[in-house]
Every structure is written in C-alpha cells, then in structure tokens.
Amino acid sequence: MARNKEIPYKIYLEESEMPKQWYNLRADMKNKPAPLLNPATMKPMTAEELGQVFCKELVEQELDNTTAYIDIPQEIQDFYKMYRPSPLVRAYCLEKKLDTPAKIYYKFEGNNTSGSHKLNSAIAQAYYAKKQGLKGVTTETGAGQWGTALSMACAYLDLDCQVYMVKCSYEQKPFRREVMRTYGASVTPSPSETTEIGRKILKEHPGTSGSLGCAISEAVEKATHQEGYRYVLGSVLNQVLLHQTVIGLETKTALDKYGIVPDMIIGCAGGGSNLGGLISPFMGEKIKGERDYQIIAVEPASCPSFTRGKFAYDFCDTGMATPLQKMYTLGSNFIPSANHAGGLRYHGMSSILSQLYHDGLMEARSVEQTSVFAAAEEFARVEGILPAPESAHAIKVAMDEAKKCKETGEEKTIVFGLTGTGYFDMYAYESFNDGKMTDYIPTDEDLEAGFAGLPKVPEDLA
C-alpha cells in the first residue's frame, strides 16, 4: 500500500520529456504489413501513384518499413505543447468502487478542444500539406473528433478544410459539426449529392445513415477533382498510427518513472489509430522478446471486423476509389448499424494491427453498446470524466478485467486508453438513460453479403 501512495492520481511529464521522434513499429515487426495494391494492376502502389491522393512526405512515411524512429518537426513539437504531454491517471476511485486488487491506469487524451487524440495526427498531416504548398485538404469524419481536430489544425496553418461527416453522426451531433464550422471547415453529410460516388451510394442504399467507408470515398473524389488539394485520413493508414505513437511513448515514460510494468493494455478499435498509438512501444518490446504484455483490442459487436471479419485484401472505402489494403474486414460494402460510437463504424482495420492480430500478438473482443454505456456512466460517476462512446469500449473491458482480479485475487496492472470526452454525445447518453438504446449484432447472412464483395486478388498476393 505504501507503494500505491507514492503514485499520484495524475502522472504528468515535463515538456522536455515529450517524444521528439515518432516510433515506427513496422521496423521491428517480423512480418511486415502487406503492401497496398493498385486495384487496376494488382501491383504494389508506388510513391508516385499514392502522391496523387496524399501529401508527398506522408507517402514516404506510409511506405517506410525500415526506419524505427522518425523525427517530429519542431513546428509540430511546438503545437503539441499546447495540449501535451497528456496525463496518465491512476484510477484510484474506480479501483475502490470495483473493490478490486487490480491497479488501473488510463492515458487521457481529451484535454484539447477537439476532445480526443486525433489532433496528434491532424497537425502533422496539415503541416506536411502546408509545407507542400497546397491550398487545402479533404477528409471524412465519423464521430466528429477527427474532423474537429483537422479543422483546428487547418485553421492554425491557414489551410482550407473540407469534411464529409457520416450522416448519422452529422444528425446526432450538430454541435460537433458547429465546432468544425467555427474553425472554418465546410461540413457535408455523407453520402451526399455533391460527388459522383455519393450519388451512386444513395441510389444503391436509399435512406442510408452512411459509414466511414462512404465518407472516405467522397473525400477522396473531392480531393482528386480539385487543384492544390490532397486527401488526409484520421485512422487506418500507417502514417496515422505513426503520429499517434506519442500516446504510447508518453505512457511508457510515465510508467517507467514509477517502475510500473503493465500486465495488460486495452484500447478501443475502429480503424486503429488510438489503439496502434497506445500499444506501439509495448508491442515493440513484445516482438523483440524484452517483455510480455496482454494486449486487447475492443470493438463494437455491431461492427466486428477483428472478431468476425476476414483477413483479406479489400478497398478502404465503400466507393472502391482507394487502394486495396490487406486487413481484417467485413467488406467495403458492409454498412454498420447507426450505433452511437461513430468513430468505430468502419468495415476494416489498420494493416499493422491486422498483421499483429493475425500473428497472435494481440487479442480482440467485441462488446454491445448498452453494456458499453453502462460502463461509461459507472466510470463517469467515480472518475469525473464523461467518456466518448468509443473510449467507453476500452473502459468496459478494463472494468471486466478488474472484476476478474477481484475473483482471483490477482493484483494485475491494467492500462487503457481514454481517447476522448463524450460531451457532444449527449443524444447517445439520453437514448441510454431513457431505455431506448438497443443492441444490433449483424447476422452471418449480413456479413456474408459484405464478404461477397471482396475483390479477387491473385493467390500469390492474397
């Protein structure tokens, strides 16, 4: 108990202890993620081809499988100091409420106006766009945190920002939309009539609530049809997970200061940005045989790409305008139900995380949204932070594991990522509190319909 008293509720780092380099986990992976494929030629995408959609330096980061550490430009480091380092919190109050011998920590990424970890990559991508001399960028957003973060970064760097927001989130979160507009972004509900792909999706799926896959398609089309614009993405891609490693690097530094070694690390998983950023330095140690950790990805039961998906090449978007990526996927044509964790409503998973999961280096669990919101409210009442629905998936499993420790008497150390706040998610909390929230789990037939649309890839590549 004396050791517990030495550990403060919040472990803060000094600015001088912030990461000065991003960690590229791929450099240490024994099995590298499969390359992106050009769907027209079925050959690996070249830097020149990717450069038509993405910024040049981001393409270099996307394709780099060998450089373990990449310097963070000073301008980005200076921006990070506005809200970083973020605290690592010892959840003493939650431990007491659960009456568990487990020690619970969470890395809180919600202390900025965007309300989440997304700003870590938004400023990096906006910086490289500005450095390239572009006029602006296009993107998609699900829950709205990414769109908010990118609009903030673009306002800071005087770039135009065009956001396609998943329609159900656009309608559920009008104030999130207005924050983006306050920072100067244009926000369009997706699918929309403003793009050819949007019109096609609306024709095939009339009345659809949309998905991240739909919004990506529209944003890519918009970028490629405007001079001086590029597309940027808030999750899934290698470059995004790279930028998010500031989360895990700070977490590890904070734990090391107090000699704390976690037994398990838990994060929510939609496309993979938060989970990948949190676990990267720990996974690097695991791969190199230096330490072992139990790493758990938590996804919604309504969109179970890890737990019920297939490890295959697929399009990253519904409109099939993007390269093919090998990942755990439900099929690019799979449109999830309109659950309240908009940031997790994506049909596939990061190729890095998919490869790690395929190799047995991490595990995955799916949870239903009513149980997620029950955990979110229990957490909020004792820890004082209203969590985003996405983050609450990790909270749910962290609490489950802590309860198991109560039964076994094990004093495990649990670390999870609290990716952001849920103050723009009050319609969701209202639905839960009024008893109107339901759980939707896709049937095998629903999933088969998505799998049926997977592209045919030569066997030597598949």
pLDDT higher than threshold 50 for residue 49: yes
66's tokens: 């060998």
State pLDDT tens for residues 12-45.
999 999 999 999 999 999 999 999 999 999 999 9
Specify the pLDDT at position 5: 54
DSSP 86: P
Nearest one of 70, 354, 119 to 237, comparing CA atoms: 354
Instruction: Examine the pLDDT at 211 and tell me if it is beyond 90.
Output: no
Sign (positive or negative) of CA dihedral 200, 201, 204, 205? negative
Give the model's confidence band at 378: pLDDT under 50 very low, under 70 low, under 90 confident, else very high.
very high
Greater confidence (53 vs 173) lies with 53
Across the range 432-460, mean pLDDT stands at 93
- What's the pTM value of the predicted model, to 2 decimals? 0.95
With 60 as the cut, is the pLDDT of residue 370 above it? yes
| Segment 313-339 mean pLDDT | 87
Q: How far apart are CA 64 and CA 61, in angstroms?
A: 5
Q: What pLDDT, in 10s, does the model give residues 238-249? A: 999 999 999 999
| pLDDT at res. 2 | 38
Per-residue pLDDT tens for 178-210?
999 999 999 999 999 999 999 999 999 998 988
What are 122-177's pLDDT values in tens digits? 999 999 999 999 999 999 998 889 999 999 999 999 999 999 999 988 998 899 99
Backbone angles phi, psi at 413, to 5 degrees: -105, 120
Strand 88-90 relative to strand 69-71: parallel, antiparallel, unpaired? unpaired
90-107 pLDDT tens trace = 999 999 999 999 999 999
pLDDT at position 317 is 83
Measured N-to-C along each axis, helices 174-182 and 145-157 cross at an angle, to the nearest 10 degrees, of 10
Give the chain's end-to-end CA distance (angstroms, integer): 53
Contact criterion met (CB below 8 Å) for 152 and 158: no
The pLDDT score that the predictor gives to residue 341 is: 60
